């Protein structure tokens, strides 16, 4: 027999023949886990990182690991803002609460992405799955974060006021409705776009997903701020 042309002629469930009439009586079920990105609309100024003293906690990315270093680096404030410094591989990291609970926006500093321009952002951020973003341009950070709200979650790469690549994940901000072939093609485009910004990590979106997981040492970030995991304290 040809399995590709195989068609069921009769279905029995629980000892009963399942007929078309049984399906006609079913209630329509609303889509589940859609419209899950309920983040505030952000602007460039939301990505400032306030501080007066130069000494700054910095998340140190370790290639291929979900562990991070807890670094202390001097960053001179400019107008009260500890700005990104691509020359020292210091980028802005931010988390935007996206479940409509509190609208929190937290910012910090990360080293190790290699990003020299633009921004990357995602709603895959274990385990709270808020919006997490890394970048060196505040306008692009805002663009990427707001675009995630528009596409119901996923991954976005932005630079120069344009979205370079994106992968919508409209089911809970975590899953796609497209075929695996289409998803793979989008992921290839995303990685290429991220590398065009200078990102040096082999799997930048995987490392982005774990930068906000505050149970894995040593320094992480949530919508409540930077978290010293070893001490279980928001700093």
Is residue 88, in this structure, part of any structural domain at all?
yes
pLDDT in tens, 159-194: 999 999 999 999 999 999 999 999 999 999 999 999
The model's pTM: 0.88
218 lies in some domain: yes
Q: Structurally, how many domains does the chain consist of? A: 1
- Range in 2-16, 63-77, 89-103 with the lowest mean pLDDT: 2-16
Question: Which pLDDT score, from 0 to 100, does residue 30 have?
Answer: 83
Note the pLDDT tens digit of each residue in 104-115: 999 999 999 999
Residue 1's pLDDT is what? 59
Is position 9 within any domain?
Answer: no
As a whole number, mean pLDDT of residues 200-225 equals 97
Residue 11 lies in a domain: no
Give the chain as a 3 state SS string. CCHHHCCCCCCEECCEECCHHHHHCCCCCCCCCCCCCCCCCCCHHHHCCECCCCEEEEEEECCCCCCEEEEEEECCCECCECCCEHHHCEEEEEEECCCCCCCCEEEEEEECCCCCCCEEEECCCCCCCCEEEEECCHHHHHHHHHHHHHCCCEEEEEECCEEEEEEECCECCCECCCCHHHHHHHHHHHHHHHHHCCCCCCCHHHHHHHCCCCCCCCEEEECCEEEECCCCEEC
Domain boundaries, position 66: 44-234
């Amino acid at each position: 027999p040809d399995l590709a042309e195989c068609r069921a002629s009769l279905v029995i469930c629980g000892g009963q023949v399942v007929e078309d009439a049984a399906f006609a009586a079913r209630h329509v079920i609303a889509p589940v886990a859609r419209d899950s990105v309920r983040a505030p609309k952000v602007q460039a100024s939301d990505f400032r990182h306030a501080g007066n003293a130069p000494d700054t906690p910095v998340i140190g990315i370790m290639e291929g690991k979900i562990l991070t270093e807890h670094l202390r680096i001097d960053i001179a404030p400019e107008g009260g803002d500890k700005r990104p410094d691509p020359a020292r591989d210091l980028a802005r990291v931010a988390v935007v609460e996206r479940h409509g609970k509190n609208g929190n926006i937290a910012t910090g500093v990360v080293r190790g992405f290699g990003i020299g321009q633009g921004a990357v952002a995602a709603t895959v951020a274990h385990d709270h799955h808020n919006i997490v973003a890394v970048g060196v341009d505040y306008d692009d950070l805002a663009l990427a974060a707001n675009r995630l709200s528009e596409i119901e979650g996923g991954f976005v790469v932005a630079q120069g006021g344009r979205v370079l690549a994106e992968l919508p994940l409209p089911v809970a901000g975590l899953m796609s409705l497209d075929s695996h072939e289409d998803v793979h093609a989008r992921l290839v485009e995303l990685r290429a776009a991220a590398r065009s910004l200078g990102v040096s990590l082999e799997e930048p979106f995987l490392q982005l997903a774990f930068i906000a997981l505050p149970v894995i040492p040593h320094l992480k970030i949530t919508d409540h701020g930077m978290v010293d995991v070893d001490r279980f304290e928001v700093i």
